[in-house]
């Protein structure tokens, strides 16, 4: 496992295997074979094509003959770490081989101060949390030239500061929510009956007095639990508050299952067919499966890495996903990551994901929580 260091200090934990409860076989490879395999992977990641034994043997770092290199490559192929494309005698690493490379051989370097500054500069704490999420997604895409994905802060990190209700025509009410100090959300709700301005003002005062500072989920639960259990005996104020609150703080607030993705087009060149393009973009559009995949990453600290089929999600079989959680006020708020070809510069992308997660959490936490 690789310890992540970035910006001159240890900022991450382990690079964690994120396979779906499947056990990847442990690989026992000798020192010389490891050295040759590392050279092969690094050459493949840089050039993208099969690597011939002659290429490895010609390196000044290798003091063995091409025949010896071929024998070692044959052994690595038998172990499932490399494969021979049918069009070439050279070798390429398999997904299992890439996993072995990341777990055992990779050398993750710190990000330089200039790169960290660029990321920090793109995450202005004066932005709203949703704006920061969008900015982080764009930064990940721009820096890595792959797709950046960031989940919106979990609902428990969205705190109510104030609510106001204004009557509209018919049985409609405009609910104005101030959350996390600066963010304003407007919601048009449909109520059971028409309400005048005085009734709505009294209901808003009640909710602001009893539930300010709580998450939207807690407000919904608190209002329903405190009122609905004895609805028949509620006075007019409580009836109004129950009606507007139950429609303002909806089940959607408890879902929190959305994310922002940027740079999907960066992945098109690595796709083999139009059908592959359609499948990938459908996956981003539907969101459900990818959200489920990202939610699994909330359960474990540190950098997590899915390589190819490890995600268990077919449209990503030829991709790698690198993720990290971000925290607000010491609590897990969401997850961000990069989706790109399995042939990516892992040692460069890993610290970008790690540092961006930390900077995003700090930016949201600054005067928002």
pLDDT, average across residues 177-197:
83
State pLDDT tens for residues 48-91: 889 988 888 887 677 778 888 989 999 999 999 999 887 667 89
Radius of gyration of the chain (CA): 26
* 65 vs 278, residue with greater confidence: 65
Neighbours of 362 (CB within 10 A): 15
Q: What pLDDT is recorded for position 270?
A: 66
* Domains of the chain, each with CATH number or no CATH: 15-105 (1.10.10.10), 113-154+256-365 (3.30.450.40), 156-254 (3.30.390.10)
Longest dimension (CA), the chain: 90
Give the pLDDT band (50/70/90) at residue 258. Answer: confident
**Which residues make Cβ contacts (< 8 Å) with residue 38, sequence separation at least 6?**
101, 105
Q: Which are the contacts of 285, defined by CB distance < 8 A and separation ≥ 6?
A: none
CA distance linking residue 343 with residue 347, whole number of Å = 12
| Separation CA 204–CA 240 (nearest Å) | 9
User: CA distances (Å), 49 to each of 55, 96, 276, 287, 296, in order?
Assistant: 12, 18, 21, 32, 33
Q: What is the DSSP string of 148-173?
A: EEEEPPPGGG-BEEEEEEEE-SSSEE
* Interval 232-246 mean pLDDT: 70
SS3 311: helix
């Amino acid at each position: 496992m690789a310890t992540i260091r970035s910006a001159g200090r240890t900022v991450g934990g382990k690079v964690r295997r994120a396979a779906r409860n499947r056990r990847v076989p442990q690989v026992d490879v000798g020192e010389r074979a490891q050295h040759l395999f590392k050279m092969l992977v690094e050459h493949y990641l840089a050039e993208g094509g099969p690597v011939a034994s002659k290429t490895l043997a010609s390196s000044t770092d290798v003091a063995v003959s091409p025949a010896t290199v071929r024998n070692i490559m044959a052994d690595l192929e038998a172990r499932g770490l490399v494969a021979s494309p049918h069009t070439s005698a050279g070798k390429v690493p398999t997904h299992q081989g890439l996993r072995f490379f990341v777990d055992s051989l990779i050398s993750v370097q710190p990000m330089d101060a200039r790169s960290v500054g660029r990321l920090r500069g793109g995450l202005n704490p004066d932005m709203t949390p949703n704006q920061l999420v969008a900015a982080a997604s764009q930064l990940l895409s721009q820096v890595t030239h792959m797709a950046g994905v960031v989940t919106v802060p979990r609902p428990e990190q969205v705190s109510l500061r104030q609510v106001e209700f204004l009557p509209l025509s018919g049985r409609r009410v405009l609910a104005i929510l101030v959350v996390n100090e600066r963010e304003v959300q407007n919601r048009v709700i449909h109520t059971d009956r028409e309400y005048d301005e005085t009734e709505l003002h009294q209901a808003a005062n009640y909710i602001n007095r009893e539930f300010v500072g709580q998450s939207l989920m807690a407000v919904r639960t608190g209002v329903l639990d405190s009122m609905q259990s004895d609805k028949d005996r509620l006075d007019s104020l409580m009836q109004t508050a129950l009606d507007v609150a139950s429609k303002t703080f909806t089940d959607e607030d408890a879902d929190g299952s959305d994310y922002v993705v940027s740079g999907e087009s960066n992945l098109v060149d690595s796709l083999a067919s139009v059908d592959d393009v359609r499948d990938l973009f459908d996956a981003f559009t539907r969101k459900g499966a990818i959200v489920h995949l990202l939610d699994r990453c909330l359960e474990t600290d540190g950098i997590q890495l899915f390589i190819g089929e490890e995600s268990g999600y077919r449209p990503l079989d030829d991709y790698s996903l690198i993720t990290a959680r971000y925290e607000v006020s010491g609590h897990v708020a969401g997850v961000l990551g990069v989706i790109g070809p399995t042939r990516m510069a892992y040692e460069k992308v890993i610290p970008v994901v790690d540092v961006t997660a930390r900077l995003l959490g700090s930016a949201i936490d600054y005067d928002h929580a």
